[in-house]
Amino acid sequence: MSNLKIMLISSAIPQNTTAGELILYRHLSQVPELNLIIATDKYAFSSDEDPLDIQVNRFIIRLQKTRFSRFVNDVHQCLHPFFNYDKLRKSIAKHKPDLILTVAEGTYWIAAQRMAREFNIPLVSIFHDWWPDLAYVHSWARRILENRFKQLYRQSQLAFCVSEEMRQLLGTHPNAQLLYPIPDQLVAAAETHTLSTGKQFKLVYAGRLSGISGQTIQALCTSLQGVTGLQLKLFGPQPDWSDAFLQPLKEQGIYGGFISRDRLRQEFNAASALLVAIPFDGSNRRWAETSFPSKLVEYCKFQKPIIIWGPEYCSAVRWGCKHQAVLVVTSPLLQDLKKAVKELANQPEEQKRLGNKALEMAQGMFNPEKIQRHFVESLYQLANQKLEKTTYFCVKLFKNVT
């Protein structure tokens, strides 16, 4: 396999942290033949590497932390993105990347879009979330941003969509491909799987506790506190909840903090079931429809029953219903979720079936080697198409000259 030069211009950058950064890290750190040049905000990059910093000045970042932040974002994302394009142009001219790669979130994808068009370099875009609905901008700016977001999709020679629903909503495209979040490497499941018989059922949730899912998880904590035979465990970065709410959760062992992956694996192996929670708030409907929870992909390899609590229109619920691989609860009522969990706690055979089905998904559809192979082969295929076209036009030009 020949070397492939990729310039990543993105707000999301490959780091062994969480969410989109972790997914990029798993994709881009495993293939030595991928020569990566990163253009981003170097102050957000915690690696020892020195990326190309194309942020014009720090004043914009400071303004984004003030009460004027929404207005600054309006301008930065919709009217005139402030980047050091001269530095970017010089780097592209020097390195001559085969492809430009970006993630459709934040602001740097706008620079990637512009440079790909200016230098006629194939553009590869990854669509993990419906960014216009997440951006902190005014409604008038959101409409402009959504048009640019869709334009990025149309301009991309290769578009990786995290769900089938994302691909459908973005529209027709000659090379839009489904690419689920890549999980960690498959590990051997625990040798013994203790099935709950209703006496003690441990429900584990791992991931972000703030943001879109914050209120949903808070309501869940309040509802499940003191329920006999049911223990809820939360793991993730400390949420932006009040101390009055969070401190009792710490004292009761409900919130376990942001722990290492080795410890998290131990918690998953000790769990009775693993939870995915999608908010029912209608204002987040399009996000729920198009995103695909990376925690769901991670959960599967632990051979535990997975419970998805979310609206019927969200991509995770649709996936679960299609493959009959999880317990789906589509009622927004907490008492209905509690009832479903209690019933599962008293059904050891169903726990076993769901656990085996989850492992089947981990070894098949969500196999990290399979997902990685698809990602890399698609990049090389696009780069080879560019080379073939260049060769064709060079030969044609030579024949015309002679």
The residue with greater pLDDT, 191 or 117, is 117
**pTM, two decimal places:** 0.86
Residue boundaries of the structural domains of the chain = 4-184+367-401, 201-363
Q: Select from 3.40.50.2000, 3.30.420.310, 3.40.50.300, 3.30.420.590 the CATH code of 4-184+367-401.
A: 3.40.50.2000
Which of 309 and 12 is assigned the larger pLDDT?
309
* Rounded-to-integer distance, Cα 298 and Cα 183, Å: 5
Q: What is the pLDDT of residues 312-340, one digit of tens each?
A: 999 999 999 999 999 999 999 999 999 99
C-alpha span between 84 and 54 (Å, rounded): 5
The answer to whether residue 9 scores a pLDDT higher than 70 is yes
| pLDDT of amino acid 196 | 56
Residues 86-117 as b or e (16 or more Cβ within 10 Å = b): eebeebbeeeebbbbbbbbbbbbbbbbbbbbe
pLDDT of 199 > 70? The answer is no
4-184+367-401 and 201-363 share one CATH topology? yes
Classify domain 201-363 by CATH number.
Answer: 3.40.50.2000
pLDDT at 56: 67
**Tens digits of residue pLDDT in 269-293:** 999 999 999 999 888 899 999 999 9
C-alpha atoms less than 13 angstroms from C-alpha of 159 in its C-beta half-sphere? 26
Give per-residue pLDDT as tens, 173-188.
999 999 999 998 866 5
Band of the pLDDT at 308, cuts 50, 70, 90? very high
